[in-house]
Each structure stands twice: as C-alpha cells, then as structure tokens.
Amino acid sequence: MKKILAGLLMLAAVPVAHSQELWTSADFSAGFGKKWEVGAEVEYRTHDALKSTERVTIGLSGEYKQKYFKIDAGYKYIMSNTLEEETRKGNIIPPYWIGRHRVYASVTGKIKAGRFSLSLRERYQYTHRLGKWVDKYEPDGETRKDDEWIAPKDKHILRSRLHCDYNIRKSKFEPFASIELYDNLSRQFSVEKVRYTIGSEYKINKHNRVELFYRFVQGVEAGTDNQNVIGVGYTFRL
C-alpha cells in the first residue's frame, strides 16, 4: 500500500511543478431507488498560467444505471473569460466574458476484471455560444474603435473516453487513469484534442469523496495549445 501511494505522489510531483491550469469542482447527487440519480455541480477553472479565471460552470444532470451500463444527460451554463485577442487587422480586443449553453447525453458500458474496472463512455455534446458586442481598440491599445460583434456559434462534439480504476484492498484510495478523444462532428469526425488523465479518488466516508488528478490535454487541431492541468474535486452523495 505504501509503495502504491509513493508511486502516485512521484507521478504527481513533476506535473504539479509545471502545471499551467487548475480545475476545481464540487458535485452533489441523490439517488432514487437503486437505478436513478440526479445531481448538481459547480466548476471553476483558471488559465494563463494560473493568473486568471478561465470559466465558471453550473450544471444539472440525471442518470439511469444498470449493472453493466448507465445512461445520463445534463445541462450546463458556462461563463468563459476570453483572454486579450488581436484581430486580423491588428486591432486589440481586451479580455471579455461570454456565456455558453451546453447539453449532453452519454452511454457508458462497464466491466470488471479482478480488482480493475474498465469503462467506455460515448458522449454527445452540443454547445451554443451566445453573441456579444465587445470593446475594440487600435493596435496602440488606447484609441477606441467601434465595438466588435462576437457572433453566436454552435459546436457538436463526440467525446469517447476509456477509463480504468483499481480497487486497492482495504484502502480508501482508488487510483484511476483515462484517455478521452474529442471528435468534431461538424468537421467529419476530425479529432480536436485528446485528454490523458491519471489520479486517485479518496473515500472519506459513505457520503463524501475527494479526488486529485493530473491531466495533459493535447491540442490536435491547428491553433490549439497543449495544457497541463491539476484537478481537485469533491463529491457528496446522499
């Protein structure tokens, strides 16, 4: 047990030192019978090397479970903070906040092999970005120009995630790893990015859990940067 925990700490040490972003979340859920569950969540993310807020999210979800699979769906409202931008003509758009509506639906299949659990989740995700007028300046950053219109935008994504966790005997720790592909359905299933995650969940008691993970997000699409993320999550289940 001590060797396993030491290994997890060593794996986390380098990513923490080079982390560019912090993602935090809190999930609250309640079950109805053995098969149904509803939940709510809040999430906070940073960007720009932890210097500013990237997004704040609130969401609601519902889930139906069977022994080997589950179906879930949900809605999220996302407030995103966009960093300073430069237009094609060299004009400057200062940082601004913009809202997004997101709905999703997933099917997850799960099997057990000894103390390992393997799951494959396929999630359809639709996001609608709201339109907004934003400030715009000359390249000197001081001379005001007419406002810039940020047009509404729709995005259709298929997220495919393979997840593995390990149940350590007589331990409250449960390490996990996953890989997830983001396929842009509007661009003939072109891969937009890939998430690689490793971490561990810790069971405090019957109702409370926390998790810590490192995530590397590989930007595949042109103009998409890679991301190093440290994540901390809290879950409360009735």
Domains and CATH numbers, the chain: 2-149+162-237 (2.40.160.40)
Within 10 angstroms of residue 157's Cβ, the number of other Cβ atoms is 19
Q: Say how far apart CA 210 and CA 42 lie, in whole Å.
A: 14
Residue with tokens 């409250």: 172
Q: What value does the mean pLDDT of the chain take?
A: 91
- pLDDT tens sequence across 5-19: 455 445 444 444 455
**pTM of the full predicted structure?**
0.88
How many residues does the structure list for the chain?
238
Q: What is the pLDDT of residue 8?
A: 47
The answer to whether 171 and 201 have CB atoms below 8 angstroms apart is: no
Q: Say how far apart CA 152 and CA 3 lie, in whole Å.
A: 51
The answer to whether 218 and 196 have CB atoms below 8 angstroms apart is: yes
- pLDDT tens sequence across 151-169: 999 999 999 999 999 999 9
- pLDDT tens sequence across 98-148: 999 999 999 999 999 999 999 999 999 999 999 999 999 999 888 999 999
What whole-number percentage of the chain has pLDDT above 90? 80
The band of 220, judged by pLDDT with boundaries at 50, 70 and 90, is confident
